[in-house]
Amino acid sequence: MYTQSLNGTPTDSDLSQDDREALVRFQARIDRDEKIEPNDWMPAAYRKTLVRQISQHAHSEVIGMQPEGAWLSRAPTLKRKGVLMAKIQDEAGHGLYLYSAAETLGVARSDLVDQLLSGKAKYSSIFNYPTLNWADLGAVGWLVDGAAIMNQIPLCRCSYGPYARAMIRVCKEESFHQRQGYELISDMANGTPEQHQMAQDALDRWWWPALMMFGPSDKDSAHSSKSMQWKIKRFTNDELRQKFIDATVPQGDRIGLKLPDPDLKWNASEGHYDYGEIDWEEFKRVLNGDGPCNVERMEIRTAAHENGAWVREAAAAHAEK
Ligand code: FAQ
């Protein structure tokens, strides 16, 4: 039966009259902005899209701890170390809420983790870039968390209840992350000439990968049209990328840093910034495993998972008592 199965997308001719009517009722609920809850009827393809997106989002939060974790022992002050530690713990928490939200769709967390470790599931391309110096931590907070919030605020209104509710807390925490990153990089931009140069260099390296976080351009986005129809996504990839650019340009100006795009210019008639061509070949290479840090990220994640086996066994034994 099509109704609650996890696999496969039926064609119209596979659907019974009952299923067709259920689909119409489902879309009407979405159109009325009702939340879909775990025990409600939903099309298999809606469930599959959510499992894919939520689990990849969870994997991104977990892998995303690595570029920052590398700097915990080298943070320049106790205050910065405390802030960074709290931020990384938040990312772990986001991963956990998101895996829990995915589990409400009838998948096991262990299967999702297996998909990550076997390379079957993606995580955000951004986390395959290295954090080379302390200014990079400012660029990550300012740009990576900034892009993440721009994408995630609309997810608070996603049609699937558990995902939407998880996003509310995630977004509140991400907005602190963005502010601490902006504060860090502005301190450096206003510091010595060497510190200013480090901040500019970090911006130069993180700008284009941050724009890629929003996904392929709309014409190449396989899932956008269905996800928009189902109100999983409220804006397309290009719409969110544009909003992010428009919000970020004045932030760069304010701290005297220049975005590394010679084609960036205010378009008064459209009311937004025009920007240069994104290197989609680089995006594809990173997604296919050939980014600067893909191998390292997966090695570290796999080792952490294996080293944690005794904790999972102990927790299972305790739960059985
Ligand atoms: N990287 O048809 P679309 C964070 C894949 S959290 C890798 O447009 P969709 C917090 C896409 O999955 C950052 N893969 O797909 C933090 C699909 O592959 P598939 C993560 C990408 O789903 C900060 C294929 O390309 N945020 O940063 C990327 O409609 C600091 C076709 O693309 C989320 O996951 C990419 N950049 O739109 C943590 C937010 N872009 O599955 C630590 C939730 C696309 O067919 C430190 N996700 N792909 O094999 C979303 O909003 C959406 O899934 C998009 C992609 C917008 C990412």
Does an H or E element contain 317, and which? helix 309-320
- The one-letter amino acid at 291: G
Contact (CB, 8 A) for 255 and 190: yes
Is residue 209 classed as helix, strand or coil in its secondary structure? Answer: helix
pLDDT of residue 72: 96
34-59 pLDDT per residue, tens: 999 999 999 999 999 999 999 999 99
- Strands annotated E in the chain: 265-267, 272-274
For ligand 1, the distance from its centroid to the CA atom of residue 146, given in whole angstroms, is 15
Rg of the chain (C-alpha set): 21
For ligand 1, the distance from its centroid to the CA atom of residue 123, given in whole angstroms, is 7
Tokens for 2?
A: 């099509």
For ligand 1, the distance from its centroid to the CA atom of residue 105, given in whole angstroms, is 19
pLDDT of residue 52: 98
Taking residues 156-179, report their average pLDDT. 97
Residue 5 has pLDDT above 80, yes or no: no
Confidence of residue 253 (pLDDT cuts 50, 70, 90): very high
Q: Tokens 């907005």 identify what position?
A: 175
Q: Tokens 């297996």 identify what position?
A: 114
Confidence of residue 168 (pLDDT cuts 50, 70, 90): very high
pLDDT of residue 14: 66
pLDDT of residue 12: 56
Contact (CB, 8 A) for 293 and 105: no
Atom of ligand 1 nearest to the CA of 145: 23
- The answer to whether the Cα torsion of 163, 166, 168, 171 is positive or negative is negative
Task: Please give the model's pTM, rounded to 2 decimal places.
Answer: 0.94
Taking residues 145-174, report their average pLDDT. 97
Dist CA 244 CA 179 (whole Å) = 15
- The one-letter amino acid at 302: T
As a whole number, the mean pLDDT across the chain is 95
Pocket test for ligand 1, best of 71, 88, 94, 124 (most atoms within 8 A of CB): 124
Ligand 1 binding pocket (C-beta < 6 A) is: 52-53, 56-57, 60-61, 64, 91, 122, 124-125, 140, 144-145, 148, 151, 212-216, 221-224, 227, 237, 287
211-228 pLDDT per residue, tens: 999 999 999 999 999 999
Dist CA 308 CA 39 (whole Å) = 32
Dist CA 283 CA 279 (whole Å) = 7
pLDDT of residue 73: 96
Confidence of residue 1 (pLDDT cuts 50, 70, 90): very low
36 versus 20: the higher-pLDDT residue is 36
- Nearest-CA residue for ligand 1 atom 52 is 53
Taking residues 102-114, report their average pLDDT. 97
- Nearest-CA residue for ligand 1 atom 41 is 52
- Nearest-CA residue for ligand 1 atom 27 is 148
For ligand 1, the distance from its centroid to the CA atom of residue 171, given in whole angstroms, is 16
pLDDT of residue 13: 63
Tokens for 292?
A: 């600067």
- 8-22, 91-105, 184-198: segment of lowest average pLDDT: 8-22
Query: Which is it for strands 272-274 and 265-267: parallel, antiparallel or unpaired?
Result: antiparallel
Contact (CB, 8 A) for 57 and 91: no
Confidence of residue 68 (pLDDT cuts 50, 70, 90): very high
Confidence of residue 268 (pLDDT cuts 50, 70, 90): very high
Residue 75 has pLDDT above 90, yes or no: yes
Q: Tokens 């200013």 identify what position?
A: 196
CB atoms within 10 A of CB 314: 10
* Residue 292 Cα distances to 153, 166, 240, angstroms: 29, 31, 26
Atom of ligand 1 nearest to the CA of 56: 34
- The one-letter amino acid at 58: A
